[in-house]
Amino acid sequence: MTPPVLAGLAGAALVGFGLYGLILHPHPLRKLLAFNLIGSGVFLVFGIVARRGAAAGLPFDPVPQAMVITGIVVAFAASALAVALILRLAAVSGKVTLDPEAWAKTPSTRPDGGGGQ
């Protein structure tokens, strides 16, 4: 098993763990963390494509690598926006959960400020 394949399998496992956490955690920040795990797993799979696509005298394919760098920064920007939305949702509604049942119990609270989902 070569290092790229190993890293690719690790990436697949990361996507699995991230998906599990994303579905199950009611806490929004934990969901965000899990989502970032999925993201880095996808980047790793991208990375092994870069490693295998070595040609033209380079030890790697620079195009996927450059896109991963761009992707990491964009993922951070999206996370920051999500954090701002989560904090606003908590400030407006007083709730720190995305559990639908917790929201269903008190239908009187205004769920505004929580757009974007």
Partner 1 sequence: MSVLPILDVGLAFLVVGLAAWTVAARNLFASVVGYVAYGLLLALVWIRLYAPDVALTEAAVGGGVTGVLLITAGKRLGALEKDEAGATPALALKIVAGALALFVAGALAWVVVTLPDPAPTLAPAAAAAADGPGAGLGNPITAVLISYRSFDTMLEKVVLILAVIGVWSVGADSAWGAAPAPLGRPQPAGAMVLLAQILAPIGALIGVHIFWVGADAPGGAFQGGALLAAMWMAAMMARLTEPPRIDARWLRLALVAGPAVFLVIGFAGLGLAGDFFAFPPAFAKPLILFIETFMVLSIAVALPLLVAGPPNGRSAR
Question: Cβ distance 77 to 44 under 8 Å?
Answer: no
Number of residues counted as binding partner 1 (CB under 8 A):
86
Per-position x/- string for 30-59, each x denoting binding to partner 1 as judged by CB under 8 A, each - no binding: x-xxx-xx--xx-xxx-xxxxxxxxxxxxx
Residue 27 binding partner 1, by CB under 8 A? yes
Site for partner 1 in 73-112 (CB under 8 A): 73-81, 83-88, 90, 95-99, 101-102
Residue 4 binding partner 1, by CB under 8 A? yes
For partner 1, the closer CB: 41 or 107: 41
Q: Which two tokens stand for residue 86?
A: 């989560």
Q: How far apart are CA 37 and CA 68, in angstroms?
A: 14
Nearest-CA neighbor of 98 among 18, 28, 34, 22? 28
User: What's the closest the beta carbon of residue 109 comes to partner 1, in angstroms?
Assistant: 14
User: What's the closest the beta carbon of residue 93 comes to partner 1, in angstroms?
Assistant: 12
Q: Which two tokens stand for residue 7?
A: 């890293």
Q: How far apart are CA 28 and CA 113, in angstroms?
A: 14
